[in-house]
Amino acid sequence: MGLSEELFDRAVKVIPGGVNSPVRAYGAIGIAPRFIDRADGCHIYDVDGKEYVDYIDSWGPMILGHNFPEVKESVLKACEKGLSFGCATAIEVEMAEFICDHIPHVDMVRMVNSGTEAVMSAVRVARGFTGKNKIIKFAGCYHGHSDAMLVSAGSGVMTSGVPDSAGVPKGCTEDTMTAVYNDLDSVRALMEQADGQTAAVIVEAVGANMGVVPPKKGFLEGLRKLCDEYGALLIFDEVITGFRLAFGGAAEYFGVTPDLVTYGKIIGAGMPVGAYGGRREIMELVSPVGKVYQAGTLSGNPIAMAAGLTQLKYLYEHQEIYKDLEEKGKRLYGGMEKILAEKNLPYHINHVSSLGSLFFTEQEVVDYTSAKSSDTKAFSEYFKGMLAQGIHMAPSQFEAMFLSVAHTDEIIDQTLEAVRNYFTK
Ligand SMILES: *Cc1c(COP(=O)(O)O)cnc(C)c1O
């Protein structure tokens, strides 16, 4: 028994499921999760000292690689001045200015502590601004764990939300409607059903929490049009895609402008940070200037701002990174596609730039239903086979692989060798 197994035995007695966030539990895999000791560049090391190539990257924040020197320095420097004041600081202003100066659709921004909070707050502002209550989300899109967002596809797209979790009163999800990703007709139908009462459509511009599901051509543009036609706001949840697909996120990458945007993950460079922002007239509704209440004792925390702002500045000043990530994505996911073809395997790979997923299904994956057609047992075997070869991926069929700047061509080619090996057995 290794140290990870020992720690997991202790953990399950004092932490529900032994983890502080469910996906870490290797639920579908059936072994103890690797407990991580440290990470550097594209490598991560478990408590038993085993080295892995890491494709989780803390679920996205480590776009520059683990332990990126400039980010680390900025955190150490900020720590010397104190960990938190709960008062206004200069670096919060710098962070907000930097985002507003470089993201055309963000005139004002509010920092929070997680993606969940960012979405919860953006939805509240959208409702406050429009004076309407209904929200349309998409089956398979994850927007954090606030009550109103924990809604399953339920019994079909024409019903209002059935809570996806115990402890969520039906009243909290009554106004959440679920549409089908990549299906504009399903959105129009809900807009009609809501009878002018849709406050907002919220979408992951690239689905990345049902595995990676890219938007079909015209899908995001169509959402923009439908929102304008029905007087609803369009919210892009860019917690994963923001500052990743392009500096301006999916909005820039696909050339579609949302009214509100939510950020998380990359914006904190590994510290717990989220943010939401958008047009001035909407954001001016947020307290203390406006009537939409939203607060946070540790929001804009100086250590988190130092880490996040340093990473954002680096990304902005080195935008060649985005072309590089695009190339790395083609090398890795394109390479995997080739291997599948070589081995006559009918599985599908979806990818957008640095994000990608191998789906163990013969169907094209375009929405939640097709994603769920995947053979999760086959995924679980693949995961274990890859882990044994030193490749650390998300322990779920329904998560993305994250490439960072630190994944060199050589590392990617080694990873492809491991994939080939696995499918050769
Ligand atoms: C991770 C994620 C969230 C939630 O962020 P947390 O920081 O985990 O609360 C929201 N939306 C998307 C798209 C995410 O990937």
15 with 151, same domain: the answer is no
DSSP letter for 210, please: S
Number of the ligand 1 atom closest to the C-alpha atom of 204: 13
Q: Name the stretches of the chain with pLDDT < 50.
A: 153-158
Domain of residue 198 covers 69-317
DSSP letter for 196, please: T
> Could you tell me which residues come within 8 angstroms of residue 170 by beta carbon, excluding any fewer than 6 positions away?
162, 163
Look at residues 270, 301, 317 and tell me which one is the last residue of a structural domain.
317
What pLDDT does 164 receive? 83
237 is catalytic: yes
> Could you tell me which residues come within 8 angstroms of residue 165 by beta carbon, excluding any fewer than 6 positions away?
145, 150
Look at residues 268, 300, 317 and tell me which one is the last residue of a structural domain.
317
234 with 148, same domain: the answer is yes
Pocket test for ligand 1, best of 113, 240, 399, 401 (most atoms within 8 A of CB): 240
What pLDDT does 152 receive? 66
Residue corresponding to tokens 């709960």: 86
Give the Å distance between the CA of 46 and the centre of ligand 1.
Answer: 25
265 is catalytic: yes
Residue corresponding to tokens 């543009």: 221
Choosing from 142, 181, 263, 382, which is the catalytic residue? Answer: 142
313 with 333, same domain: the answer is no
99 with 42, same domain: the answer is no
**What is the CATH number for 411?**
3.90.1150.10
184 with 300, same domain: the answer is yes
Choosing from 132, 134, 137, 265, which is the catalytic residue? Answer: 265
Structure tokens at 110: 């509010």
30 with 105, same domain: the answer is no
Look at residues 301, 317, 333 and tell me which one is the last residue of a structural domain.
317
The torsion of the CA quartet 314, 318, 324, 328, rounded to 10 degrees, works out to: -10
Q: Tally the domains of the chain.
A: 2
172 with 212, same domain: the answer is yes
Ligand 1 shell residues, CB under 6 Å: 114-116, 119, 142-144, 204, 209, 237, 239-240, 264, 274
Give the Å distance between the CA of 414 and the centre of ligand 1.
Answer: 30
261 with 298, same domain: the answer is yes
Choosing from 237, 314, 328, 347, which is the catalytic residue? Answer: 237
What pLDDT does 4 receive? 96
What pLDDT does 27 receive? 81
Number of the ligand 1 atom closest to the C-alpha atom of 240: 15
What pLDDT does 160 receive? 61
Predicted TM-score (pTM) of the model is 0.97
Distance (Å, whole) CA 23 – CA 396: 7
273 with 364, same domain: the answer is no
307 with 330, same domain: the answer is no
Distance (Å, whole) CA 34 – CA 394: 11
175 with 280, same domain: the answer is yes
Give the Å distance between the CA of 345 and the centre of ligand 1.
Answer: 32
**What is the CATH number for 186?**
3.40.640.10
272 with 347, same domain: the answer is no
Number of the ligand 1 atom closest to the C-alpha atom of 141: 13
Distance (Å, whole) CA 308 – CA 64: 12
The torsion of the CA quartet 115, 116, 119, 122, rounded to 10 degrees, works out to: -100
